[in-house]
């Protein structure tokens, strides 16, 4: 990160954690991918999970796929910023890559559920920006889950049943988006990111910058 030594230099900034949560099928993964493609200052937190790898998923890119024993060892060693049980499988966010990205002035995107979001909130409220994504309707949510066709039918049925529970957590989030139109939802998350980057307390280099302005050099 650069210090503001001349006009036009970026002002030193502290990164934040951008959490996106939603019921499965509300479009969160697609929105996340687009955000990451378009924003070089945003980096993805890759979670560890015990759930089986789906076709097309890549070890280390989509998840760190680990055995229950390996996951338990990571818990014991204190490697997780947060971890939770979701649909009978374990998921957790390793904190080391997140710490490194934030220290480097990057913002970190998390695709985690409400349980993980609560844990991050308890640990680092000031560095958390949370967004909940709702589907436009239940029938559309169901259509998207079936269209995905990557999970067995009983998994889809379980996820539909859980969607209603998950959606009840919307009041715990800073922002809520109804994903009617993909491009519009991406623009809305980008607007949130832009505004949150401009928050005074995140622009830690402002004091030095204003001193430089006032010196009139």
Residues 133-172 that bind ligand 5GP (CB under 6 A): none
Least gap, CB of 81 to ligand 5GP (angstroms): 9
Integer distance in angstroms from the first to the last C-alpha of the chain?
22
Asked if 4 interacts with ligand 5GP (CB under 6 A), we say no
Residues 20-59 that bind ligand 5GP (CB under 6 A): 24, 47, 51
Beta strands in the chain (DSSP E): 17-21, 42-44, 48-49, 64-65, 80-86, 89-94, 107-111, 128-134, 175-178
Quick one: 32 or 188, whose CB is closer to ligand 5GP? Answer: 32
Asked if 12 interacts with ligand 5GP (CB under 6 A), we say no
* Nearest to 148, CA basis, from 18, 21, 19, 28: 28
Asked if 113 interacts with ligand 5GP (CB under 6 A), we say yes
CA dihedral 114, 164, 51, 59 (to 10 degrees): -70
Binds ligand 5GP (CB under 6 A): choice among 31, 42, 86, 98: 86
* Nearest to 109, CA basis, from 42, 31, 27: 42
Contact footprint for ligand 5GP (CB under 6 A): 24, 47, 51, 82, 84, 86, 91-93, 111-113, 115-116
């Amino acid at each position: 990160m650069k210090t503001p030594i001349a006009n036009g230099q970026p002002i030193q900034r502290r990164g934040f954690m951008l959490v996106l949560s939603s019921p499965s099928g509300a479009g969160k993964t697609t929105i996340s991918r687009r955000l990451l493609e378009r924003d070089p200052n945003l980096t993805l937190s890759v979670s560890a999970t015990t759930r089986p790898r789906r076709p097309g998923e890549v070890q280390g890119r989509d998840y760190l796929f680990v055995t229950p024993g390996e996951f338990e060892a990571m818990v014991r060693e204190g490697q997780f910023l947060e971890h939770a049980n979701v649909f009978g499988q374990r998921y957790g966010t390793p904190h080391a890559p997140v710490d490194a990205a934030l220290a480097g002035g990057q913002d970190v995107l998390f695709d985690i559920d409400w349980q993980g979001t609560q844990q991050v909130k308890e640990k680092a409220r000031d560095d958390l920006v949370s967004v909940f994504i709702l589907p436009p309707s239940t029938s559309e949510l169901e259509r998207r889950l079936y269209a995905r066709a990557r999970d067995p039918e009983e998994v889809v049925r379980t996820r539909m049943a859980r969607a209603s529970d998950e959606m009840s957590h919307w009041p715990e989030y800073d922002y809520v988006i109804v994903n009617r139109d993909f491009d519009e939802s991406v623009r809305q998350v980008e607007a949130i990111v832009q505004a949150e980057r401009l928050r005074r307390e995140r622009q830690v280099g402002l004091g030095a910058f204003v001193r430089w302005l006032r010196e009139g050099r």
